Chain A
Amino acid sequence: MIRSALASFVITAVLLVVVVGIVLVPIAMHMPDPLAVLDMFVFGPFRNPRHTGNIIEMATPGMMCGLAVAIMLRAGMFNLGVEGAFFLGGLATVATVLLVPLPGWAMAPVGLAVGAVVGSSVCAVPGLLRARYDASELVSSLMLNFAALFIGLFIVNYFLRDPTAGAMVSYKIPNDARLPRLVAGTRIHLGTIIAVAGCLLGAVYLFMTRAGFESRIVGLNPAFAAHLGLPIRWILLRSQLIGGLIAAGAGGIEMLGLYQRFSWQGLPGNGWTGVVVAILARDNPILLIPAALFLSYLQVGGDLISRNFDVPNEAVGLIQALVLLVVTSSAIMRNPRLLRLVSGRKAAANKTPGPKVAEGSAA
């Protein structure tokens, strides 16, 4: 079993390289110096500690949004409200910090807590609607993402807006509320530690707690869960509450870790990145960490070539889409010939003749 896991990891890694190549090479060929472009994309992020730091700090929301998606997917829920929860969580955190009088030491914890609770509604409401009315959480979460966006913009415009600033942004976030930086010369902040801890806790939750176990049963086989008498609706709702809290918390952490003011004018896209991260990590919370790091490495590379070579960083978006497609393709990922090739075995042809009754598929 280990060999096949390793085999599938190797296939994934090779495919990722291929995908990156497919998008990047044609773009690079358009530029006067294609090799320089490729070199900057692949190695550039490591040449400068600030950029390497970028990889880590940009992986933070990826890890947490990926965790949110993974936990909900493990319970079998396709709740796409992560995007809106992230946005609203960030907003609510900033709003709390700006509007509620709090002592300096309390600003971040209280702000993050309030942000998490408020933002989680974008995932929780679809969850509730599914639990009570069996309404599709897919469609309702997609809608609520946009509703959250506009409610958020409303609050910024009417309550948080700094008239002295040029664009539509909020007042400055008080320094006390901001998360401490960890590594000099980079923007890595406390949030990264929280994100990594979150992923580890996520693994503990899913594989070592009763609640996580029940979640997985419901996700893998709801009929079995019904047979055991598990409270399925409550388990589904719980997974979406947890996912929402994590995604919203991620938004708050991103705000307090990196931003001076709340300046998002649209949905920031971290939710969709979270989906890609989660799928790449096969919903395994520990693998979320390298998956998020990989995707943000691509992002940093994209930013670098966009700044230095005038290549738009949307190329990274294309790469992400291809990654998602390839990883979810079972024709590629579960291709028996490919797996055998990589794990170096031949499949044994099992003949089980004799008096045993043919199971399942026959008669």
Chain B
Amino acid sequence: MSDIDFVGLLSFVPAILRVTTPILLAALGVLISDRAGVLNIGVEGMMLSGAFAGVVASAATGSAAAGLVAAIIVGGMLGAVLAGAVHILKADLILSGIALNIAAAAGTTLLLFLMTGDKGMSGSLASQVLPKITIPVIADVPVLGTLLSGHHILTYVAFLAVPGVGIFLTRTPLGLRLRAVGESPESAAIAGINVVRVQVMALIVSGAFAGTGGAFLSMGYVSWFSQDMSAGRGFIALAAEVMGHGSASGTMFASLLLGAAEAIAVALQGRGLPSELMQTVPYIVPVIALVVYARRRQRLLARA
């Protein structure tokens, strides 16, 4: 009896990691933008655009890698566009992000139609899929194998990026300057740092991460793009970043929590619970977590 439960739980882990991947990638991007003081609300649109770009590029070239590169570039470019809106047009950060989301939803559907004549799905495009990775020796180890091997390449990228982003923020000169810019732009300017340039770069990187997350959606386990396929995951990534207390590891745990919530919801759907109600879970859990975080912060401030 207990063996079966254990095995069941174990096979659950890859599912959680799979669902967490796009959220984590996007959330890391949001983290970088947030620490630089330019919270990227447009992450949803950037994910969607990355998903679309990946499908189109990989279909055109026959190469999955090309699709991934396209997704990253498109995401980065949209990050630059958002930065331009804020610094050149002096538009409001949040409203520009919203504008970008609206434009991405409309633009991807429009382009999809122009390319395939179909608004719903890119079925006619022969887009590629990015591979899964099996680690040779470890894969055969009983428990460890399931935990560590056989995941999608972008899943590995996402989780390896966590310490990467963390080290970047805390131990590199650019990371230090980025944090200074986000917390106290006047002090950073006085120290001779070009605040605008740092923020533009942060948004470009943020967009690149979001684009990668989008590539996972359309080239990870499926090989198509469908209208609005990001389905709010960008916003969930926003929630994860807020829950993450501003650190890369915090963001990772928050993303895992939200990924687990979604994975559990999917599993429970299979067991007969109404699918729609289960689909609310990934959106309600972040709200609850947000409240817990806010309460804790309130209590800390009150004590000071």
B189 contacts which chain A residues (CB < 8 A)?
A: none
Residue of B nearest to A143 (CB): B283
A328 contacts which chain B residues (CB < 8 A)?
A: 91-92, 95-96, 99
Q: Is the CB–CB distance between B290 and A146 below 8 Å?
A: no
Q: Which A197-221 residues have a C-beta within 8 angstroms of B?
A: none
Residue of B nearest to A125 (CB): B287
- Which residue, of B92, B231, B236, B280, has the highest number of chain A Cβ atoms within 10 A? B280
Complex Cα gap A153–B276 (Å): 6
A142 contacts which chain B residues (CB < 8 A)?
A: 232, 235, 238-239
Q: A273 to nearest B CB, angstroms?
A: 9
Among B101, B102, B109, B242, point to the contact of A136 (Cβ < 8 A). B242
Stretch at the interface among A104-112, A317-325, A342-350: A317-325
Q: Check B284 for interface membership: any CB of A closer than 8 A.
A: yes
Among A153, A266, A272, A331, point to the contact of B102 (Cβ < 8 A). A272
Q: B77 to nearest A CB, angstroms?
A: 16
For A266-288 the 0/1 string (1 means CB < 8 A from B) is: 10000010011001000000000
Q: Is the CB–CB distance between B92 and A150 below 8 Å?
A: no
Q: Is the CB–CB distance between A134 and B294 below 8 Å?
A: yes
Residue of B nearest to A30 (CB): B114
Residue of B nearest to A316 (CB): B106
Q: Check B180 for interface membership: any CB of A closer than 8 A.
A: no
A151 contacts which chain B residues (CB < 8 A)?
A: 276-277, 280
Q: Which B271-299 residues have a C-beta within 8 angstroms of A?
A: 274, 276-277, 279-280, 283-284, 286-287, 290-291, 293-295, 297-298
Q: Is the CB–CB distance between B102 and A324 below 8 Å?
A: yes
Q: A257 to nearest B CB, angstroms?
A: 25
Complex Cα gap A7–B169 (Å): 46
A318 contacts which chain B residues (CB < 8 A)?
A: 103, 106-107, 110
Complex Cα gap A129–B106 (Å): 32
Stretch at the interface among B55-63, B82-90, B129-137, B153-161: B82-90
Q: Is the CB–CB distance between A144 and B276 below 8 Å?
A: no
Q: A113 to nearest B CB, angstroms?
A: 25
Among B85, B236, B277, B290, point to the contact of A140 (Cβ < 8 A). B290
Q: Is the CB–CB distance between A140 and B105 below 8 Å?
A: no
B238 contacts which chain A residues (CB < 8 A)?
A: 139, 142
Interface size, chain A (Cβ < 8 Å): 45
**Given contact pairs A328-B92, A332-B89, A314 touches B99 in the complex (Cβ within 8 A):** no
Q: Which B81-128 residues have a C-beta within 8 angstroms of A?
A: 85, 88-92, 94-96, 98-103, 105-107, 109-110, 113-114, 119
Interface of B is mostly: helix
B287 contacts which chain A residues (CB < 8 A)?
A: 125, 129, 140, 143-144, 147
Q: Check A157 for interface membership: any CB of B closer than 8 A.
A: yes
Q: Is the CB–CB distance between A322 and B290 below 8 Å?
A: no
A324 contacts which chain B residues (CB < 8 A)?
A: 95, 98-99, 102
Complex Cα gap A307–B252 (Å): 47
Q: Check A258 for interface membership: any CB of B closer than 8 A.
A: no
Residue of B nearest to A319 (CB): B106
Q: B120 to nearest A CB, angstroms?
A: 12
Complex Cα gap A326–B84 (Å): 12
Among A129, A158, A315, point to the contact of B291 (Cβ < 8 A). A129
Q: Is the CB–CB distance between B103 and A139 below 8 Å?
A: no
Complex Cα gap A332–B294 (Å): 37
Residue of B nearest to A158 (CB): B274
Q: Is the CB–CB distance between B107 and A325 below 8 Å?
A: no
For B249-277 the 0/1 string (1 means CB < 8 A from A) is: 00000000000000000000000001011
Q: Check A135 for interface membership: any CB of B closer than 8 A.
A: yes
Q: Is the CB–CB distance between B89 and A146 below 8 Å?
A: no
Q: Which A91-136 residues have a C-beta within 8 angstroms of B?
A: 125, 129, 133-136
Q: Is the CB–CB distance between A329 and B291 below 8 Å?
A: no
**Given contact pairs A129-B294, A318-B103, A329-B89, A279 touches B95 in the complex (Cβ within 8 A):** yes
Complex Cα gap A129–B298 (Å): 12
Can you identify 19 A-B contacts, CB atoms within 8 angstroms?
A: A134-B298, A139-B239, A143-B284, A146-B231, A150-B279, A150-B280, A150-B283, A154-B280, A266-B228, A276-B102, A317-B105, A317-B107, A317-B110, A321-B99, A321-B100, A324-B95, A328-B95, A329-B91, A331-B90
> Which 7 residue pairs across A and B have the least CB separation, nearest first?
A317-B106, A321-B103, A154-B276, A329-B89, A135-B294, A331-B90, A314-B110
B residues sitting closer than 8 Å to A (CB atoms) are 41, 85, 88-92, 94-96, 98-103, 105-107, 109-110, 113-114, 119, 228, 231-232, 235-236, 238-239, 242, 274, 276-277, 279-280, 283-284, 286-287, 290-291, 293-295, 297-298
